[in-house]
Amino acid sequence: MAEHTVIMENTLRKLLAEKKYATLREILITMNPSDIAAIFDELEEDRLPLLYRLLPKELAADVFVEMDQEAQELLIRGFSDSELKEVLDELFVDDAVDIIEEMPATVVRRILSQADPEMRKSINEILRYPESSAGSIMTTEYISLRPQMTVAEAITRIRRTGIDKETIYTCYVTKDRTLIGVVTVKDLLLCNDDDKLIADVMIDKVISVNTHDDQEEVAQMFSKYNFMALPVVDGENRLVGIVTFDDAMDVMEEEATEDIEKMAAIIPSEKPYMSMSPFEIWKNRIPWLMLLMVSATFTGIIISHFESALAKLVILTAFIPMLMDTAGNSGSQASVTIIRGLSLNEIEFKDILQIIWKEARVAVLCGISLAVACFAKILLVDYLILGSFAEVTMASPFLIIGVICITLAITVLFAKIVGCSLPLFAKKLGFDPAVMASPFITTIVDALSLLVYFGIANIFLPL
C-alpha cells in the first residue's frame, strides 16, 4: 500500500516535470480520493495547486476533504474566490465544519464569505455546539419524510433530493420538525405495497442522541446498535441533524488514541504526530513529566527516612527497583483493564465490590507465584551465581530473601487493589479515569511498596 503510493508519487512527479497534464489527469481520475490526497500531502508547495487544478470538480472536492490541514490551507490561500466557492459547493456541511475548525481566523472568514447562505447558516449552527458534542460532528443534510406520504412518494422524494445528502439510506420521519420515526431505503424497496403509508412502514421507537451528548457516547451507540446513521435532536425532540457511521468511526479511533495517550501521561492532541513540531510535542508531554517528577519526592523522602537502615544493610537497596517495577506493572495491569472497560461501557461504578474481590483473588494468585519465582531466582542468581550476599553478616541471607518475597506478594496485592479502584472512583467523582488514575498509579504504588518493604524489614531484620 505505502510502497505503491511512493511509486505512484514518483510517476506523477515525472509527468509533472514533463508537463504531461493530459496524462496526469487520466491517471488521477482512476484513483480513489483518499489515495490522491495521501500523495498530494507529500507534494511541494508550488506543485500542489498545479496538480490539484487538474482534477474534475467533484473529485477535487472529495480529495480536498481527505488532505492534511496544511495542504488544505495552502490551497485555500491560492484559490480565487470562484475556485473556493466551487469546492465549497461540493462539500458536505460536516466536512466543511471540520475544515473550518482547523483553519486560522482569516481563512475561516474567507470560507464563510464564499459559502452559499444556506451552508453558511448550517456551518454557523454546528460551530455553536461545544467541541466533542454530538452537535459538533453532525451534518444537517439528511432526508426527511412526512408520515402521510406513500412508499412510492417517498422513493420519488429520495430520488429527487438525494444527490446532496450525506446518506440516503436512513430517512427520518418528522411532524412539525419533531422526530417521530425512522425508515430505511431497504424497508421502502422491499415493501411490496407502493401505496402503503410511511406512518405504517416506519419504526417509531427511534433511538436518538441530544445535540449536547458527548461524541464518545454517540460512537458507543453506533458500536452497540450497528446503526448506519443516528438522528440528533434538540431539547424539544426536534430533528436538527444526523451523525453517520464514518464520523462515528473517526471518533472511536480518536477516543482510543486519546485514552492511550492519557494512560502514557501525555496530553492528547488532535494533530497527527508527524505534523507536530518538537515544541508542540514538548508542550503535551512536559506537564505530566514535571508533576510525576515532583510527586516522586515522596519516594525520596521515604528512602531518606530509612537511610540509616539502608546504610547498615546496603543489599536491600539492590531490590528496590525490582519491587517498585513489579508493583507498578501489577497496578497498571489492573488500572488499564478497568479504564478500558469503563470506556467501552463494559464496567460501571456499581460493579466496584465485585471488581475489588476479583482483583484481590487475582492478586493473591499473582503474588504467590511471583514470590515463589522470586525466591528461586534470588537464591539461584543472586546468592549462588553472583554471590551478592557474600558480605552480608548481619542477618541470614534466607531471612533477607524472605523479607523481599513477602514484600513482593503484599505490594502486588496493594497495587492491584489501588489499580482497580482508583479509576472507578475517578469516574464516580466526574474525573477522566485515564487521566486521573493511570499516571498516578506508579507514584502511589512506588510509595506503598517502599513503606511495606522497610516496614517488613524493620520487623524481621536487625536494623
Q: Residues 169 to 188: which contact a copy of itself by CB under 8 A? A: 169, 185-186
Nearer to a copy of itself, 113 or 369 (CB): 369
Nearer to a copy of itself, 21 or 245 (CB): 245
- Name the β-bridge partners of 144: 172
Is the Cα torsion angle 16, 20, 26, 29 positive or negative in sign?
positive
Cell numbers for 265, please give them: 501521561
Q: To which residue does cell 536494623 refer?
A: 463
- What is the DSSP code (8-state) at residue 240? E
- Answer for which of 145, 230, 263, 457 binds a copy of itself (CB under 8 A) is 263
Q: Is 77 in the site for a copy of itself (CB under 8 A)?
A: no
Candidates 103-111, 112-120, 135-143, 258-266: pick the segment binding a copy of itself (CB under 8 A).
258-266
Nearer to a copy of itself, 178 or 345 (CB): 345
- Which amino acid makes up residue 233? V
Q: Is 361 in the site for a copy of itself (CB under 8 A)?
A: yes
Candidates 117-125, 127-135, 137-145, 276-284: pick the segment binding a copy of itself (CB under 8 A).
276-284
Question: How far is C-alpha 134 from the chain's CA centre?
Answer: 16
Nearer to a copy of itself, 84 or 447 (CB): 447
Helices (H) and strands (E) in the chain, counts: 24, 6
Nearer to a copy of itself, 289 or 459 (CB): 289
Q: Is 319 in the site for a copy of itself (CB under 8 A)?
A: yes
- Which amino acid makes up residue 173? V
Site string for a copy of itself, 322-351 (x = CB under 8 A): x-xxx-xxx-xx--xxx-xx--xxxxx--x
DSSP 398-443: HHHHHHHHHHHHHHHHHHHHHHHHHHHHHHHTTS-HHHHHHHHHHH
| Footprint (CB under 8 A) of a copy of itself, residues 203-232 | 205, 207, 222-226, 228
| Footprint (CB under 8 A) of a copy of itself, residues 404-423 | 408, 412
Q: Is 311 in the site for a copy of itself (CB under 8 A)?
A: yes
Compute the distance between CA of residue 24 and CA of residue 71 in angstroms, rounded to an integer. Answer: 20
**Residues 339, 437: contact at Cβ < 8 Å?**
yes
Q: List the Cα angle 416/421/424 in 5-degree steps.
A: 140
Nearer to a copy of itself, 360 or 456 (CB): 360
Q: Is 428 in the site for a copy of itself (CB under 8 A)?
A: no
